[in-house]
């Protein structure tokens, strides 16, 4: 994974802590559990939100959150990003004077893990979204799924966490993790904005559900494809179709489902050469 510019760091002692407990046999066990910390984000002199996060890459998280909420414009010049670890605060400073008092009154709590927050007018920016008609090879999807699912991560070490991965063709570039999938994708958005990375030729892979929030964030970032091992929400599918985002879920072994943007798919992979996973049976409305 030498091509990864940012990868999970499961050995970072700041991201997990050791906790003692008792297992099903009544025996003492000690396991690693993920940390969860508040991070308050300011835009210039205005407090915007307090997010719960594992605490890594706070500058990317702050910039990405503000960018995905439409509070940072693509044309904005960021003069400084200051993180104060002692008071757990990030201040993003811009040349443009900002005031989002009215926008802050329209907060919406989302279904994401650790409870995400978006603002009520966030969807207004979707009308202007024009995603490029890039090709998407099925061989890239199979390769990415294998690489990402077998990569050392906090999820494999401690669980209770989600990951989002920015990819180019079949190459993972930036892998971010957090207690909420929305935080992980915001970190990627912040990295892209601060590093000047292009979006039109990228793929976003997430380990979590393909919700409306994830679709909106990916589309507003200008990324034409969003893929996941997990499933969909109806509103997420509806918005993906509205903006022309390629939405692929339930990626397990050789199987996947594309519910939007299938015109980008290029069927170049030999599915017989892809190792499959056992199907889960469904009984009485429950998956076993």
Question: Global pTM?
Answer: 0.88
The arrangement of secondary structure in 136-276, i.e. its CATH architecture, is: 3-Layer(aba) Sandwich (3.40)
Is the pLDDT at 182 greater than 50? The verdict is: yes
Match 């050392």 to its residue by tokens: 152
d(CA 167, CA 144): 8
Residue 103: predicted pLDDT? 76
pLDDT, tens digit (0-9, with 9 covering 90-100), for 186-233:
999 999 999 999 999 999 999 889 999 899 999 999 999 999 999 999
Rounded mean pLDDT of the chain? Answer: 89
Is the pLDDT at 114 greater than 50? The verdict is: no
Is the pLDDT at 286 greater than 90? The verdict is: no
Nearest to 145 by CA among 19, 3, 252: 252
Nearest to 179 by CA among 165, 164, 163, 161: 161
Nearest to 188 by CA among 171, 179, 197: 197
> Tokens standing for 208?
């979590």
Q: Is it true that domain 37-123 has CATH number 3.10.20.10?
A: yes
Is the pLDDT at 282 greater than 50? The verdict is: no
The domain limits of the chain are 37-123, 136-276
Over residues 45-55, the mean pLDDT reads 93
Point out the least confidently predicted range of 80-84, 178-182, 221-225, 277-281. 277-281
Which is higher by pLDDT, 212 or 105?
Answer: 212
Is the pLDDT at 274 greater than 50? The verdict is: yes
108, 119 Cβ separation under 8 angstroms: yes
The backbone torsions φ and ψ at residue 15, rounded to the nearest 5 degrees and listed phi first, read -90, -15
Which stretch of DSSP H or E encloses residue 138? helix 138-149
pLDDT, tens digit (0-9, with 9 covering 90-100), for 54-82:
999 999 999 999 999 889 998 999 999 99
Residue 234: how many other CB atoms lie within 10 Å: 9
């Amino acid at each position: 994974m030498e091509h990864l510019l940012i990868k999970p760091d499961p050995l970072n002692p700041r991201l997990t802590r050791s906790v003692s407990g008792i297992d099903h046999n009544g025996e003492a066990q000690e396991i690693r559990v993920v940390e969860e910390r508040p991070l308050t984000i300011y835009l210039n002199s205005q407090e915007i939100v307090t997010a719960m996060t594992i605490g890594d890459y706070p500058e990317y998280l702050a910039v990405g959150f503000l960018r995905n909420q439409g509070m940072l414009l693509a044309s904005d010049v960021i003069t400084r990003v200051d993180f104060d670890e002692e008071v757990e605060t990030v201040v993003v400073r811009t040349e443009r004077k900002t005031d989002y008092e009215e926008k802050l009154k329209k907060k919406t709590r989302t279904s994401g893990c650790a409870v995400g927050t978006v603002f009520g007018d966030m969807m207004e920016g979707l009308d202007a979204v024009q995603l490029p008609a890039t090709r998407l090879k099925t061989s890239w999807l199979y390769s990415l799924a294998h690489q990402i699912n077998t990569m050392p991560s906090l999820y494999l070490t401690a669980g209770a966490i989600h990951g989002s991965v920015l990819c180019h063709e079949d190459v993972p570039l930036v892998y971010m993790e957090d207690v909420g999938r929305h935080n992980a994708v915001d970190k990627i958005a912040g990295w892209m904005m601060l590093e000047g990375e292009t979006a039109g030729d990228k793929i976003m892979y997430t380990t979590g559900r393909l919700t409306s929030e994830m679709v909106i964030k990916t589309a507003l970032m200008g990324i034409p494809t969003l893929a996941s091992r997990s499933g969909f929400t109806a509103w997420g599918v509806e918005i993906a179709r509205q903006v022309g985002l390629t939405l692929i879920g339930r990626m397990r072994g050789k199987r996947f489902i594309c519910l939007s943007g299938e015109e980008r798919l290029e069927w170049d992979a030999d599915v017989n050469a892809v190792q499959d996973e056992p199907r889960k049976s469904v009984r009485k409305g429950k998956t076993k």
